[in-house]
Structure 1
Amino acid sequence: MTEPEFLHATRTAYDTIACDYAEEFSAELEAKPIERAMLAAFAEMVGAAGGGPVADLGSGPGRVTAFLHRLGLEAFGIDLSPRMVALARQTYPDIRFDEGSMTALDLPDGSLGGIVAMYSVIHIPHDQLPLVFAEFHRVLAPGGRVLLVFQVGDAPLHRTEAFGRAIALDYYWRQPGPVVELLADAGLAVEAQLLRQPDATEKVSRAVLLVRKRGS
């Protein structure tokens, strides 16, 4: 089967900028208290529901996966970019990182206690989001949680350069409302949502959604 062009373009772009990206954002969470608080709330909810493995989808260089480990979760990372996965494995050798796509997760049905997707659905075209959220639902155990974070906006963005390197990468910034509706269509109920205003290093607001798979 031919791979969709958006997956090829995303993988190629992040392979190109992997080292620069890792260096730029290695300590990002230290300056993001709201994101840390939401990750902590997510970890507590996953634990209260019985725990289970947690997949960090779009894990990049692994900083969020490592933070989830420090919170006591059985977390592992999945990323589309082989170079990102290699960097994460080098930096955090005791944590599992795999290559893969959230459009077709190589995971058994109902096997996860939680999913984190921080700024990773932003490269998924609108017509592919139902497929992604259906995969979330498939691999989550009943009552499993999702923490979803994304930039808020109304128009896509195409970048041809990052860190001084040539890329071709599309970004899909979204309003929270339609995302909540798509999650509900997939059997995923939003329990809490937060809209954070941009800080001094950002241009647009961030949406944070805490989501639960319906079921006992």
Structure 2
Amino acid sequence: MSASPASPDPQGIRVAYDTVAGDYAARMPDTRVEAPLDLAMIDTFAEAVRSGVDPLVLDAGCGAGRMSRYLADRDCQVVGVDLSPGMIAMARRDHRGLPFAVGSLADLPFPDELFGGVLLWYSTIHTPPAGQGRVFAEAARVLRPGGQLLVGFQAGDGTRDVAATYRRFGHEIVLERHLVTTDQMAAWIKAAGLREVCRLVRRAQGAERDDQAVLLATVW
């Protein structure tokens, strides 16, 4: 299956993450890789969701479920969704009691205005810039009025080859991630009908290659 410039290759992304799911879950079981500033933004998001009508959160692009568990431990009611059945299998294995489903960010399997919060934690990074509008339109669709959106991503321009990281663990995959600026991200979020609340940009730390950004927004 080939991808157009405006959309990711969902089959390729699914195959890549199905291939690495076991090692991914083993090497990233929790939030130890997050910087304290990153976690502070997630805590702010969780507090804002809890202060609303219903603390139901969609962890969109949940991977192996580590951020779903983090939010659940902060009294949010969490539903996780991910394109990769392999990742969902790891999430169900390691985080029993939390609901997880297979689904696409561009076509979320949920009704309108269901969630008080949507977390997109480094889950938009494989979507080319021209396809981002669809992802945020879907996030906005499933958010209630006053709902919260938090997105984490690598800030900058261009693409990075992610496959090289996994080759060290014996996996031959094809996978790229796309860097975007915070202004670009804010523009997509605004176009989807959400209002930016705050943003964080921090410099790369440790093995990181790029600046890291987090943007919090709410439904108008």
- Which TM-score band (shorter chain)? over 0.9
User: In structure 2, what residue type is equivalent to 1:145?
Assistant: Q
Separation in 2, partners of 1:17, 1:60 = 11
Separation in 1, partners of 2:212, 2:8 = 27
SS in 2 for 1:46: helix
Residue 43 of structure 2 corresponds to residue 60 of structure 1: no
- Verify the 8 A CA contact 1:29 1:35 in the aligned structure 2: no
CA 1:11–1:138: 2 relative to 1, 3 Å: same
Name the TM-score, length of structure 2 as normaliser: 0.92
SS in 2 for 1:59: coil
Residue 138 of structure 2 corresponds to residue 150 of structure 1: no
User: What CA deviation, in whole Å up to 9, does each residue of 1:54-85 have, x standing for no partner?
Assistant: 00011111110000000000011101110110
> Any gaps of 5 or more consecutive residues in structure 2?
none
Counterpart position of 1:164: 170
CA positional deviation for 1:5: 5.9
Separation in 1, partners of 2:161, 2:16 = 12
Alignment equivalent of 2:181, drawn from 168, 175, 181: 175
User: In structure 2, what residue type is equivalent to 1:105?
Assistant: L
Separation in 2, partners of 1:30, 1:202 = 10
Separation in 2, partners of 1:171, 1:74 = 29
Aligned length: 213
Residue 131 of structure 2 corresponds to residue 128 of structure 1: yes
Separation in 2, partners of 1:117, 1:111 = 16
- Verify the 8 A CA contact 2:8 2:127 in the aligned structure 1: no
Counterpart position of 2:194: 188
CA positional deviation for 1:40: 1.0
- Verify the 8 A CA contact 1:55 1:78 in the aligned structure 2: yes
Separation in 2, partners of 1:10, 1:189 = 30
User: What CA deviation, in whole Å up to 9, does each residue of 1:166-200 have, x standing for no partner?
Assistant: 11112111111011011111101110000011111
Which stretch of structure 1 is more off in the superposition, 48-57 or 159-168?
159-168
Separation in 2, partners of 1:149, 1:160 = 20
Q: CA RMSD in A?
A: 1.7
Residue 209 of structure 2 corresponds to residue 203 of structure 1: yes
User: In structure 1, what residue type is equivalent to 2:141?
Assistant: R
Name the TM-score, length of structure 1 as normaliser: 0.93
Identity of aligned residues (%): 35
Residue 47 of structure 2 corresponds to residue 44 of structure 1: yes
Separation in 2, partners of 1:54, 1:165 = 32
